[in-house]
Chains A and B, each alone.
Chain A
Amino acid sequence: MDSAPLLLPMLDAALAARGYLEPADIEAAAREARLPLARAWEAVRFYPRYRTEPPEKRFLLVDDPVVRARDFAQLWAELEDAAPRAEAHADTVYSQGLEAVGPALVIEEGARWRVFAPVQAADLQALAMGKLPPHELEALPPELARGGGDLFEPPDPLPEFSGADALISAVREAGLRGLGGALFPAWRKLEAVRAEAADAKYVVVNGDESEPGNFKDRWLMEHNPRLVWAGAALAARAVGASEIIFYVRGEYAAARARVEAARAELEASGYFEELKTQTFRGGGLYVCGEESALLESIEGRRAEPRLKPPYPAQAGLFDRPTLVNNVETLAHLAWIAAHGAEAYRQRLPKLFSISGDVARPGVYELPLGTPLAGALEAAGGDPEDLQAVLLGGAAGTFLRLPEAAELPLDFAAPQLSGDAVGPGALVAFTGDRDLWAVAEGIAAFFAHESCGKCFPCSLGTPHLHAAVARRERGPQTEELFLALEQGSLCGLGQAAPWAVRSLIRRFEGVRT
């Protein structure tokens, strides 16, 4: 790491001390980080947690695709009614990886978040009397990982490094892809970073999972962080990196604590040897998961996607070659190192976050290529009762049932129809659910998360949200879809119209 300390951790320290930032805190952090005050101020005015006034108490209803399809409007009305009577402010917060255990409520006091799930309308009414909801949730229940799986087991013994050539060819033979959603062949990234000559190289673990519908990375960070650290250490050795930064989504407090505890244990046991490691609290916005925006935020800037090329493999963190991999990808890498490519190919495990109208929502490890109906049945869903599945997450598409029942959930088949497994969310909806309400929630999410860098996304996402709220469809809306998809700088703006467009195409076309 470059010698100056990082800005965000210093701001966080000041924030923890007082609950908000004074100008003197920001000036001190800028000085320490050797950044112009204007740069530090940009960060303060970008990341939502850096308040500059004493924060009021807030009740935050978690807004995700599952609750949007159900009783979001009713719960919101109850909360708006109860909050002022408890001298709190009512607001919403987007998906917290709680789709399988919701509806969820966050109570924010100062810098402290307490999460309650599930909550019912009566629990929200009781807030007015000063009564907290009955079920407080610190982390996802471990048993949410259902049906067993190789990736749910801690690595025992920890995999050993067998050399860069051996590891990268095993990853290549295994067919491992980037499982944060982009599905880019993992070995190519490894090879690209390895090929660079530089005074320093980095491995960055992308644990910024913030896409509504997804919670498998949260589960891995909370319940199997050693496997992910092992994958990161192996990858670092393979590419010749000297430092690993594990970037955990800003709101995932338990995940961060457990990732850090696992790091400290592994370090104490000598597993990292000469590798430097650190756990980094993410900025708390969806765009932080875009790999170049993530690097910007570690550097203390606004988390805005960079123009590419250059790619992170060439010029990443502090302009050094950087391998950025998703949490699940590195867990797979560690498993491949321990058991070999052939054993991996026989299983082809993939984690799916399954939620919505199924009997047992949770994280499932299923063989790649499992038909959609099979995945839903594994979670206790009845494909006959379901009208749709949101595949991938907010940056995904609605599939129509029963038509899509036999679709193999692999890297190739969904793409033939313009869909993608993405990070692996499946949100199921029965026939009585309002898919437009779900699409409206997704459009609101993108408008809220747009970083403000490129014009099509910052201007287009609010108008997309307005159009979906009015249930508009037709040629003008299609023009907006194209401007966003073709014009936006990064995947956030590009993907913003996908869900609603698939809804219009598949559910409002000619019916047979």
Chain B
Amino acid sequence: MSKVSLVVDGYLVQAEPGETLLDAARRAGVEVPTLCFHERTGTRGLCRLCVVEVEGWGRPVPACATEAQPNLVVRTETEALAALRRVVLELLALETDLSHDAGTQTLLKRYAAHPQRWSAPLADRREREPVHDNPFFVRDYAKCYTCRRCIDACGEGVQGVWAYGTTGRGHAAVPGTPLDLPLPETPCVFCGNCLQVCPTGALVPLEELSLAEGGLS
């Protein structure tokens, strides 16, 4: 199959057929910001930080979920996109404990985000108590922004075990276990995939946690 030629931020890019705009941008050396996208879990299209403008199309489209097509003219950094990303990042930082999430903190700086301008948090995310229900790791959902990578890694994306699912709606949506059971009572096999794909530090091995806290626990 022949390559797909398109323009990303002024660079002519030759993408492989089937590649996304996110892949195409990487070929041009452009790193489009994204929080939820994960190659192995198949998670995509939720955080909307990677939306890019395509000339002649209406609304911006998620780069992680849009296939590269011949002759597209794509812009990944415009004033409008920066403003959109700034608002999403600000609300995210206002509502979520991002203290263990270096990646998002870098993006907050890159987009000059000021979460305080949106006054007080409205979701009760930060009030969530950490779940200690197994000998291996803590589930601290005050730090979770529900990107669902853990759910996809556990379910249809990788492991096919289904120890997790999304519970609740709107800003109250959060990963949980079937019937709210403790993890050891679910099909969980403690493979550790969910910890590996968690970008926020909401899922932390107990070992790491005790080291970080000076071995107190």
Does B173 contact A458, Cβ atoms closer than 8 Å? yes
Which residues of chain B (46-103) have a CB below 8 Å from chain A? Answer: 46-49, 51, 59-60, 62, 65, 80, 83-84, 86-88, 91-92, 95
Does A38 contact B87, Cβ atoms closer than 8 Å? no
Given A447-B170, A459-B171, A482-B83: A487 touches B165 (CB 8 Å cut-off)? no
B122 within 8 A of A: yes
User: Which bucket holds chain B's interface residue count?
Assistant: 35 or more
Using an 8 Å CB-CB cutoff, how does the interface string of B104-132 with A read, 1 for contact, 0 for none?
00000000000001110011000000000
A265 within 8 A of B: no
Given A41-B179, A42-B166: A459 touches B84 (CB 8 Å cut-off)? no
Which residues of chain A (429-454) have a CB below 8 Å from chain B? Answer: 447-454
B190 within 8 A of A: no
Which residues of chain B (153-193) have a CB below 8 Å from chain A? Answer: 155, 162-173, 176-179, 186-187
By a CB distance below 8 angstroms, the chain A residues around B88 are 455-456, 459-460, 483, 487
Q: Which of A26, A452, A458, A486 contacts B51 (CB 8 A)?
A: A486
* Total A-B pairs, Cβ < 8 A: 136
Considering the chains assembled together, what is the distance between the CA atoms of A448 and B168 in angstroms? 11
Given A459-B95, A486-B60: A39 touches B44 (CB 8 Å cut-off)? no
By a CB distance below 8 angstroms, the chain A residues around B176 are 41, 45
B146 within 8 A of A: yes
Interface size on A, residues (CB 8 A): 42
B147 — nearest CB in chain A belongs to which residue?
A: A455
Of the listed residues B35, B80, B122, the one surrounded by the most CB atoms of chain A closer than 10 A to its CB is B122
By a CB distance below 8 angstroms, the chain B residues around A487 are 48, 51, 60, 84, 87-88
A494 within 8 A of B: yes
B62 — nearest CB in chain A belongs to which residue?
A: A307
Does B169 contact A455, Cβ atoms closer than 8 Å? no
Considering the chains assembled together, what is the distance between the CA atoms of A463 and B93 in angstroms? 13
By a CB distance below 8 angstroms, the chain A residues around B62 are 307
Considering the chains assembled together, what is the distance between the CA atoms of A165 and B178 in angstroms? 49
Does A462 contact B65, Cβ atoms closer than 8 Å? no
Considering the chains assembled together, what is the distance between the CA atoms of A476 and B179 in angstroms? 41
16 additional contacts (CB under 8 A) given A456-B48, A458-B170: A37-B178, A447-B171, A452-B171, A452-B172, A455-B48, A456-B88, A458-B171, A459-B91, A461-B171, A466-B122, A482-B80, A482-B87, A483-B88, A487-B48, A487-B51, A489-B46
A-B contact pairs, 13 of them (CB 8 A): A36-B178, A37-B162, A38-B162, A41-B177, A45-B165, A45-B167, A45-B168, A450-B170, A455-B36, A455-B91, A456-B87, A486-B60, A487-B51
Residues of A within 8 A of B (CB): 23, 26, 36-42, 45-46, 285, 302, 307, 447-456, 458-463, 466, 476, 479-480, 482-483, 485-489, 494
